[in-house]
């Protein structure tokens, strides 16, 4: 009985530790995003050159993500996450040091590579904790990421308002976030490979199940990227609103996603991943329709809020399903993460090119159409429900290697 109680305590402690790591990961992203204008000026690059440079984080992540599984196998889950989150937080400093386009691209490639590997490692641990608890926690973990991003953004906005040097700001932020991230890793599950377990290949194509799950994530992240980057522009150009109201729309979208993720686990526990994603898809489609037909800012803002509500829990559930879809969770999670990162890279430029050829309204017709995919293909998440969510008696299951 004592061993069961100790394990329960260990798993619960690990849940909070992984949540802290998610928040740290998000805070790095928020800290970087707010200082991009300073970095652009310091590197002396044009808007077009900056656009090229900003493609390198996703490129670095896509290349490096599949390495996370072999790193975890070699060093163990706890040590791997500790090292990868430290590399990620410290890489925050690199872009602000870049004096020109070439070094900025290299810095952002490194920044993205460390982000991607840490992303896979922390999601794999999150799925393991969820399995042992027997209830959904992935939505809440991603909600903590969103909360961390908001905190990082707020601190970065204050630093920018005070006119501080981004190099100093990022050195201080990296020091704090590295300390918090490394300390939090002390309490995550110390998973080790079995003695007879074969190491995963350094590079391998993700399993077919991960590709199907990733397709759902692609639809959700496309809508997220389009809304984040183009919602303010949509209100300003299509509906001729003020800059302040347009910016408020983007903030409202972000807050809606964060709140929905933090509250999403209870919905998943009650209705399951498939029905939750189908219902989420309906909200996203309704939001897209409101955006497309809007002739008043309030209607469009309501549409973006519904869009945020509809896509908020989809990606966390995709990671959870990928982690249970085969014998190599890290490889499956890396495959889903690569597809979603690619979607986030493609979405803003695709929306812009389509808008230039037609209009922003037509662009968001595409977003609405992709949102229909959430309703149509939610069934691919069913293998992720192999572990019954919401059953307290599954807490004591010992899944240690």
pLDDT tens per residue, range 34-78: 888 899 999 999 877 887 888 898 889 888 888 888 898 889 889
Phi, then psi, of 230 in degrees rounded to 5: -120, -5
Question: Which helix (H) or strand (E) segment is 219 a member of?
Answer: helix 208-238
Would you state the structure tokens that stand for residue 297, as one six-digit string?
A: 């800012």
Q: Cβ(79)–Cβ(63) under 8 Å?
A: no
User: Any residues with CB less than 8 A from the CB of 198 and at least 6 apart, and which?
Assistant: none
138-142, 322-326, 338-342: range with highest mean pLDDT: 138-142
Q: Is the dihedral of CA 88, 93, 97, 98 positive or negative?
A: positive
Q: Cβ(67)–Cβ(209) under 8 Å?
A: no
pLDDT at position 1: 57
pLDDT in tens, 264-291: 999 999 999 999 999 999 999 999 999 9
pTM for this predicted structure? 0.84
Q: Which alpha helices (H) appear in 65-204, and where do they start and end?
A: 68-75, 77-91, 93-97, 101-133, 138-161, 166-184
In this prediction, residues 349-357 reach a mean pLDDT of 86
b vs e for 154-164, b when ≥16 Cβ sit within 10 Å of the residue's Cβ?
ebbeebbeeeb
27-36, 155-164, 305-314, 319-328: range with highest mean pLDDT: 305-314
Return d(Cα 114, Cα 117) in angstroms, integer: 5
Q: Which alpha helices (H) appear in 324-377, and where do they start and end?
A: 329-357, 360-376
User: Is residue 260 pLDDT above 80, yes or no?
Assistant: yes
Would you state the structure tokens that stand for residue 88, as one six-digit string?
A: 């990620």
User: Is residue 2 pLDDT above 90, yes or no?
Assistant: no
pLDDT cut 90: percent of the chain above it = 53
Q: Cβ(235)–Cβ(247) under 8 Å?
A: no
Return d(Cα 334, Cα 355) in angstroms, integer: 32
User: Is residue 219 pLDDT above 50, yes or no?
Assistant: yes
Number of DSSP helices (H) and strands (E) in the chain, helices first:
16, 0
Return d(Cα 162, Cα 160) in angstroms, integer: 5
CA trace torsion 262, 263, 265, 266 (10° rounding): 160
Please count the other Cβ atoms lying within 10 Å of the Cβ belonging to residue 201: 12
Question: Which helix (H) or strand (E) segment is 225 a member of?
Answer: helix 208-238
Return d(Cα 210, Cα 222) in angstroms, integer: 18
User: Is residue 217 pLDDT above 90, yes or no?
Assistant: yes
What distance, in Å, lies between the first and last C-alpha atoms of the chain?
Answer: 21
pLDDT at position 62: 83
Return d(Cα 40, Cα 349) in angstroms, integer: 19
Return d(Cα 118, Cα 125) in angstroms, integer: 11
Across all residues in the chain, what is the average pLDDT?
87
The CA-atom distances, in angstroms, between 151 and each of 24, 33, 308, 314 are: 10, 12, 19, 23
Q: Cβ(390)–Cβ(276) under 8 Å?
A: no
């Amino acid at each position: 009985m004592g061993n069961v109680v100790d394990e329960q305590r260990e798993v619960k402690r690990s849940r909070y530790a992984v949540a802290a790591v998610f928040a740290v990961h998000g805070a790095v992203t928020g800290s970087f995003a707010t200082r991009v204008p300073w970095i652009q000026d310091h590197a002396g690059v044009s808007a077009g050159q900056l656009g090229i440079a900003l493609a390198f984080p996703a490129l670095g992540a896509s290349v490096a993500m599949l390495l996370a599984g072999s790193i975890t196998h070699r060093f163990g889950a706890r040590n791997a996450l500790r090292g990868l989150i430290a590399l990620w937080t410290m890489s925050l400093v690199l872009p602000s040091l870049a004096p020109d386009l070439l070094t900025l691209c290299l810095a952002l490639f490194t920044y993205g590579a460390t982000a991607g590997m840490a992303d896979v490692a922390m999601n794999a641990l999150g799925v393991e904790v969820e399995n042992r608890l027997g209830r959904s926690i992935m939505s809440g973990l991603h909600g903590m990421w969103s909360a961390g991003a908001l905190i990082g953004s707020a601190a970065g906005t204050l630093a920018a308002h005070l006119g501080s040097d981004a190099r100093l700001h990022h050195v201080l932020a990296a020091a704090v976030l590295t300390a918090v991230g490394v300390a939090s890793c002390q309490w995550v599950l110390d998973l080790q490979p079995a003695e007879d377990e074969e190491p995963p290949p350094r590079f391998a194509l993700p399993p077919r199940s991960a590709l199907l799950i990733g397709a759902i994530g692609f639809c959700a992240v496309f809508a997220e990227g389009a809304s984040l980057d183009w919602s303010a522009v949509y209100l300003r150009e299509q509906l001729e609103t003020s800059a302040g109201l347009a910016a408020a729309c983007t903030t409202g979208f972000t807050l809606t996603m964060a709140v929905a993720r933090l509250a999403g686990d209870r919905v998943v526990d009650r209705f399951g991943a498939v029905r939750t994603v189908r219902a989420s898809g309906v909200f996203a489609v309704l939001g897209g329709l409101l955006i497309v037909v809007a002739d008043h800012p309030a209607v469009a803002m309501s549409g973006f809020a519904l869009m945020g509500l509809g896509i908020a829990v989809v990606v966390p559930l995709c990671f959870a399903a990928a982690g249970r879809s085969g014998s190599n969770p890290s490889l499956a999670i890396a495959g889903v993460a690569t597809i979603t990162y690619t979607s986030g890279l493609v979405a803003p430029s695709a929306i812009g090119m389509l808008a230039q050829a037609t209009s922003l309204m037509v662009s968001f017709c595409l977003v609405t159409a992709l949102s229909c995919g959430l309703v149509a293909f939610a069934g691919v998440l069913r293998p992720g429900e192999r572990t019954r969510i919401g059953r307290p008696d599954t807490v004591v299951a010992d899944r240690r290697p």
